[in-house]
Every structure is written in structure tokens, then in C-alpha cells.
């Protein structure tokens, strides 16, 4: 296909940021700026059997691939549509059996390589930016990232070399993995559960801001970009690359580590939300600044420790870890402090996994109001929290509270996902069933 661009927008050189996307007409709040089909995508292993491998539809009557018995599809059309991408993986899974365990990134890169072998023209995902134009930032990678890159390349060779002919050379693979790590997206559902990974070149063109004017949501395997602020002609279109809950220093660290730039957006320069995000408990004698610094250090360490512990500790042990850290941090931090909220969110997740509905509800009730303050308007994080709470309330037969929470989620989702999105229809149905 020819480079036809995206109506209402243009690619331009953004001062200090490289290529970017800007509006050439006005976009109202909730308006679709553009949609982008995935150039390549892969369903996460944990969702196999619950979602179609090809279109990501969530349904119960899927049927499995007759060969590998691992991939599931809506119907024969979805299976045929996915076969060119699934075939090498199918053969590899059959060959390796229980030892088949490439990371999601490796699986995605394998699909990108297969796509590039059969694609000679610009795709519908590359109206403004080609995959080969992705930044790799190889010159900025530290030794740890280089080692991870090499491990991914080794895994690609191990699991796919017999099933994909003529893999790119070492240098090309090094660059491709670095490009995917900097430009890949995670596809999530309405509760922000991870469904898979994908590459959306035109979406990747947008630069980052901690006060974005658009939000990215997903319909199946397509990304949709909607305005969450009024955008005027000539204004740059900004997405957020990261979770915006955290204070400026943390966000900048994350952006520098993952995307190799220092954010200079208005939120990072003004730090206007940092005081509220780092709220200290009101005590008769306020803690010394050194005590606060020490507790921030503890909070960051425990967050990282918990992330690692998810892989080897039992749910009961994880919940205890959350409770102990909350008790310790609560001596200095207010309940609205983002580090407290982080561990409450983890605790809520563990409670949901353990089917401790009352425990999950208790944590959710503490989280949802501070989230509404700390996150920007029309945040998916706030919507998903109201959604989880609403569904918990209904499950616990708290009908009035459930409907109220679902309506708050719906108000955000109608802007972020669009009024016609099937997630919006699902929530409306849940509300109507309570009448």
C-alpha cells in the first residue's frame, strides 16, 4: 500500500524528541484520532483457552488446534487466518513438548520475522512509520540489557531455527529485539489484565507525556487512539508510555531505563502532583526528612522484592508480605501515598486470586478514591478499579454499590474505549441486569 497517512494528523519533527505525531484538525474529548491494526501480535500463554489466538475474542466455546492442542480458535476462519503465523510455533511446540518455553518477546519477534518474509509493501499498520524505522537505542543499552538481548536471541535460535528458514544474522536480531523492547505494546482487557504483546508502528510514532492528550485501548488485536483532552490543530499528540501513578523521580527513572530519555513534560517540570502522591501521615510530631527518605527507599525495595516473589512464593506468603509492608510504611505514609496504594493493589490482586472477595473489596475501597486524584482524567487504571469493585459488590449482593461503581467505570470507558466498544456494551448489560 502507498503511504496515505492518517487523516487529521501528520508526522513531523518534534523539537528535542525526533519524529512525532501532530493534529492538523481539532479532536474533541472521546473522539477517535485513529485506529491501527497490529503489524504482528501474540496471545499470552496464560490466556490460551479463554481467548481466540487469532482475534483475541473472549468466549467459552473455542476449539483447539488439532496438532499442538495448545492454540484455541473461534472457528475455522480464525484458525486459517492465524495459520501462517501459528504454523512455525505449532511445529516447534510439538517438537519441544513440555520443554517449549520461549518468552512472549521471543514469540513476538519470531512472528515479526515471518511477517517480514512475506511482506514486501507498506502495511496498514505503517501508514506513517515503518517497523524498520523503529528506534533501537543500541548505543544506550547497558551490559544487563545486552545480556537479556543475547539470551532472547539464543532462545529464538533454540526454539525456532529448525522451523523458520534463514533467520536474520546476529546483528539484525540484536537490533530487532532492541526495537521491539522499545516500541512494543501490551494488549490488556477492560480490567487491565494482560492478554498479549504486539507491535503497532503508527501508535509507536507518538511521543510520551506524563499528561497525555490521548489514550490507547484495544478492540481485538487493533489499537484505537482516542482524545482524552481537546486537541487543537498544530498540537502534538502525546501518549503515556508508563503507569502515571508514581512521583516525578520514579517516572523519570522508569522512562530513562526503558526508553532512554528524560521527560520534560509540564507534569515533570512542575511536579504539581508529587506532594499529594507522597502524602505523609499526620502525626503529633512529624517524621524527620531522613526517616521519610529511608521509608521511600524501603518502599522501592519491597516493591521490587514483591515483583520477584510472585514467581516463587505462595499466595498466602505474598499477602503476608503485603500486609507487613503496609504496616511498616503506614507508620510514616498516609493511606493515599502511592507506595501504600501500590502494595494495596498487589494485596487486592492476591485476594482476588485466593477468592477472598471481602478482602479484595476492602483493599479496592481504599484504593479507588486516591486513584481518582493521582491519575489523569479518563484513566484506564481508575476505570478498571471501579469495574473490579462494581463486580465484587454485585458478587457480594451489594447491588446499589455495585451499580454505582459500574456507572463510574462506564463514564470513563465511554470516552477511553468509545461508546460502541464491546467492553462498554458488557458493562451496560451488567448494569441493566440489576434493574
Q: What is the pLDDT of residues 140-173, one digit of tens each?
A: 999 999 999 999 999 999 999 988 888 999 999 9
Q: What is the pLDDT of residue 412?
A: 97
- Calculate the average pLDDT of the chain: 95
- CA 239, distance to chain mean position in Å, is 12
Q: What is the pLDDT of residue 123?
A: 94
Q: Cell numbers at residue 158, please?
A: 533454540
The CATH architecture to which 1-38+200-241 belongs is: Beta Complex (2.170)
- 247-263 CB burial, b ≥16 within 10 A, e <16: bbebbbeebeeebebeb
| Integer Cα distance of 274 and 407 in angstroms | 29
Report the pLDDT value the prediction gives residue 187, as an integer from 0 to 100: 97
Give the fold, CATH level 3, of 45-185: Annexin V; domain 1 (1.10.220)
Q: What is the pLDDT of residue 3?
A: 53
Distance (Å, rounded) from C-alpha 196 to C-alpha 186?
6
281-318: per-residue pLDDT in tens? 998 888 899 999 999 999 999 999 999 999 999 999 99
- Please report which confidence band the pLDDT of residue 4 belongs to, taking 50, 70 and 90 as the band edges: low
| Residues in CB range of 384: below 8 A, 6 or more apart | 190, 191, 192, 409
Q: How many beta carbons lie within 10 A of that of residue 76, not counting itself?
A: 9
Residue 207 contacts residue 14 (beta carbons within 8 Å): yes
pLDDT for residue 165: 85
pLDDT of residue 272: 95
Contact 41, 108 (CB under 8 A): yes
The answer to whether residue 280 scores a pLDDT higher than 70 is yes
Ranges for all domains in the chain classified under CATH 2.170.270.10:
1-38+200-241
Q: Is the distance from CB of 210 to CB of 268 less than 8 angstroms?
A: yes
Mean pLDDT of 114-140: 93
Query: Is the predicted pLDDT of residue 394 greater than 80, yes or no?
Result: yes
Q: Where in the chain is the domain with CATH 1.10.220.160?
A: 45-185
- DSSP codes joined into one string, 274-319: HHHHTPBP--SSPPPHHHHHHHHHHHHHHHHHHHHHTTTS-HHHHH
**C-alpha span between 225 and 336 (Å, rounded):** 30
Q: What cell does 146 get? A: 545486552
Per the structure block, which three cell numbers stand in for 238?
502525546
- Is 207 in contact with 238 (CB distance < 8 Å)? yes
Instruction: Give the residue-averaged pLDDT of 260-265.
Output: 92
Beta strand ranges found along 131-286 (DSSP E): 184-188, 194-199, 207-208, 214-219, 222-227, 238-239
Q: Is the pLDDT of residue 65 over 70?
A: yes
What's the topology of domain 248-433? 1.25.40
Judge whether residue 61 has pLDDT over 60.
Answer: yes
Q: What is the pLDDT of residue 164?
A: 86
Residue 321's pLDDT band (boundaries 50, 70, 90)? very high
On the question of pLDDT at 345 being above 80, the answer is yes
Grid look-up 519441544 returns 96
Distance CA 403, CA 372 (A): 18
CATH 1.25.40.10 maps onto the chain at: 248-433
What pLDDT band is residue 435 in, cutting at 50, 70 and 90?
confident
Question: In the structure, what pLDDT confidence band is assigned to residue 224 with cuts at 50, 70 and 90?
Answer: very high
Task: Convert the pLDDT of each residue in 322-343 to its tens digit.
Answer: 999 999 999 999 999 999 999 9
Amino acid at each position: 500500500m502507498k503511504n496515505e497517512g492518517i487523516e487529521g494528523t501528520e508526522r513531523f519533527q518534534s523539537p528535542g524528541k525526533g519524529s512525532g505525531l501532530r493534529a492538523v484538525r481539532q479532536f474533541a474529548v472521546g473522539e477517535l484520532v485513529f485506529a491501527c491494526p497490529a503489524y504482528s501480535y501474540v496471545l499470552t500463554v496464560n490466556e490460551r483457552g479463554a481467548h481466540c489466538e487469532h482475534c483475541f475474542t473472549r468466549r467459552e466455546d473455542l476449539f483447539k488446534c488439532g496438532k499442538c492442542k495448545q492454540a484455541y480458535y473461534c472457528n475455522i476462519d480464525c484458525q486459517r487466518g492465524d495459520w501462517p503465523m501459528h504454523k512455525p510455533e505449532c511445529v516447534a511446540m510439538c517438537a519441544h513438548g513440555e520443554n517449549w518455553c520461549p518468552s512472549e518477546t521471543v514469540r513476538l519477534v519470531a512472528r515479526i520475522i515471518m511477517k517480514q518474509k512475506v511482506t514486501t509493501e507498506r502495511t496498514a499498520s505503517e501508514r506513517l512509520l515503518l517497523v524498520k524505522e523503529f528506534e533501537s537505542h543500541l548505543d544506550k543499552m547497558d551490559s544487563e540489557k545486552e545480556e537479556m538481548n543475547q539470551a532472547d536471541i539464543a532462545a529464538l535460535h533454540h526454539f525456532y531455527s529448525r522451523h523458520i528458514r534463514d533467520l536474520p544474522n546476529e546483528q539484525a536480531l540484536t537490533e530487532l529485539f532492541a526495537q521491539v523492547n522499545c516500541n512494543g505494546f501490551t494488549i490488556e482487557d477492560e480490567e487491565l489484565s494482560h492478554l498479549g504483546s504486539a507491535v503497532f508502528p503508527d501508535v509507536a510514532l507518538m511521543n510520551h507525556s506524563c499528561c497525555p492528550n490521548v489514550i490507547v485501548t484495544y478492540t481485538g488485536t487493533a489499537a484505537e487512539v482516542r482524545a482524552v483532552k481537546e486537541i487543537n490543530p498544530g498540537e502534538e499528540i502525546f501518549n503515556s508510555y508508563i503507569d502515571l501513578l508514581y512521583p516525578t523521580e520514579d517516572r523519570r527513572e522508569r522512562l530513562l531505563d526503558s526508553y532512554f530519555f528524560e521527560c520534560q513534560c509540564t507534569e515533570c517540570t512542575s511536579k504539581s502532583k508529587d506532594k499529594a502522591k507522597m502524602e505523609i501521615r499526620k502525626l503529633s510530631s512529624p517524621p524527620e526528612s531522613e526517616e521519610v527518605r529511608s521509608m521511600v527507599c524501603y518502599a522501592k525495595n519491597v516493591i521490587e522484592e514483591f515483583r520477584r516473589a510472585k514467581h516463587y512464593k505462595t499466595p498466602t506468603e505474598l499477602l503476608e508480605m503485603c500486609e507487613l509492608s503496609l504496616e511498616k510504611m503506614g507508620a510514616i505514609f498516609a493511606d493515599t501515598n502511592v507506595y501504600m496504594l501500590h502494595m494495596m493493589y498487589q494485596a487486592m490482586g492476591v485476594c482476588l486470586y485466593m477468592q477472598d472477595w471481602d478482602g479484595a473489596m476492602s483493599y479496592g475501597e481504599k484504593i479507588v478514591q486516591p486513584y481518582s486524584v493521582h491519575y489523569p482524567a479518563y484513566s484506564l487504571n481508575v476505570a478498571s478499579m471501579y469495574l473490579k469493585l462494581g463486580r465484587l459488590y454485585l458478587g457480594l449482593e451489594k447491588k446499589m454499590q455495585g451499580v454505582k461503581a459500574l456507572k463510574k467505570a462506564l463514564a470513563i470507558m465511554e470516552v477511553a474505549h468509545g461508546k460502541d466498544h464491546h467492553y462498554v456494551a458488557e458493562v451496560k448489560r451488567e448494569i441493566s441486569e440489576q434493574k
